[in-house]
Amino acid sequence: MSRMNGFVGRRNFLKLVGVGSAGIAAGAAGGSFLWDAQQAVAQESPTTPSQRPQPVSPDDSLKRLIEGNQRFVNGTRENPHQSRLRLEETAVAQFPFASILGCADSRVPAEIVFDQGLGDLFVVRVAGNVASQTAIGSLEFASAVLGSQLIIVLGHSRCGAVQAAIANQPLPGRIGVFVEEIKPAVERVKFKTGDLEENSITANVQYQVEQLTESSTILGGLIRDSKLKIVGGRYDLASGKVTLVT
């Protein structure tokens, strides 16, 4: 039976995880609940096996992103995959080659800064690029179901969420919820030499990478199977350049 990019399809994925977190944990302990089940599930995508692109390796995915960002910085954007034909192709199915956990900041749109197009990136954006439970679930879907083999956690300079975590003041509404998830990163560099804000931005990216790696059985399993890599990056608002920090 065929599989989407070597992974499980949507309906089968939901059936597998429908047994509950206890079932997943038990399978993880046995080493193969989700991954062995791939051998027995049918592929439900409307595309045929010959129409599906081959999965892009983590290293090749990262290379594409870095090259795209360099084009953006140089002012030589190609604006790929933005044609009417691409629109029609992605209306049938999506096969993003990479996933982004980025900040919701309006100045950091992933498809633009990496010079990508429709269907290329699975993007999750939340203030402070925080690996919340919702964000983790979305990235599990992108990795296990859609076959994306790279996740990049993308922080950026002058991040207001990080600044709020450093200030450590009471916040209205639910703003404090995501800010609290940044504070452990700030604590790590509180006494480090250099600028606290700059150090905290980098530390937050690294901390959220750890959260993704350690908090998800699904992502952890894909990493062990060499089907996923998670890295961190930092975007400079002034230059447009992305620098890897993990």
Residues 200-241 pLDDT 10s:
999 999 999 999 999 999 999 999 999 999 999 999 999 999
Q: What is the phi/psi pair of residue 151, to 5°?
A: -120, 130
- The answer to whether 226 and 40 have CB atoms below 8 angstroms apart is no
* More confident of the two residues 182 and 28: 182
Whether the per-residue pLDDT at 162 is higher than 50: the answer is yes
b/e for 79-100, b at 16 or more Cβ within 10 A? eebeeeeeeebbeeebbbbbbb
What pLDDT was estimated at residue 30? 37
Whether the per-residue pLDDT at 36 is higher than 60: the answer is no
How far is the C-alpha of 120 from the C-alpha of 123, rounded, in Å? 10
Find the mean pLDDT for residues 139-147: 96
- The answer to whether 104 and 125 have CB atoms below 8 angstroms apart is yes
Tell me the percentage of the chain whose pLDDT exceeds 70.
79
Find the mean pLDDT for residues 166-194: 97
Identify the structural domains of the chain with CATH numbers, from first to last.
1-52 (no CATH), 55-244 (3.40.1050.10)
How far is the C-alpha of 52 from the C-alpha of 93, rounded, in Å? 9
pTM surpassing 0.75? yes
Residue whose C-alpha is closest to residue 114's, from 96, 128, 131: 96
How far is the C-alpha of 246 from the C-alpha of 232, rounded, in Å? 5
Query: How far are the Cα atoms of 37, 45, 136 from residue 30, in angstroms, in the given order?
Result: 13, 29, 23
What torsion do the CA atoms of 96, 240, 131, 124 make, to the nearest 10 degrees? -40
What pLDDT was estimated at residue 54? 80
Q: How far is Cα of residue 227 from the mean position of the Cα atoms in its chain?
A: 14
How far is the C-alpha of 125 from the C-alpha of 110, rounded, in Å? 9
Q: How many CA atoms lie within 13 A of 204 on its CB side?
A: 36
What pLDDT was estimated at residue 39? 36
H-helix segments, 31-182: 33-37, 58-74, 84-92, 110-113, 133-144, 160-167, 175-180
What pLDDT was estimated at residue 13? 55
> Please, which pLDDT band fits residue 43 given cuts at 50, 70 and 90?
very low
> Please, which pLDDT band fits residue 50 given cuts at 50, 70 and 90?
low
What pLDDT was estimated at residue 239? 98
Element (H, E) at 152: strand 150-156
What pLDDT was estimated at residue 21? 42
> Please, which pLDDT band fits residue 15 given cuts at 50, 70 and 90?
low
Find the mean pLDDT for residues 177-189: 98
> Please, which pLDDT band fits residue 170 given cuts at 50, 70 and 90?
very high
The residue length of the chain stands at 246
What pLDDT was estimated at residue 6? 47
* More confident of the two residues 26 and 84: 84
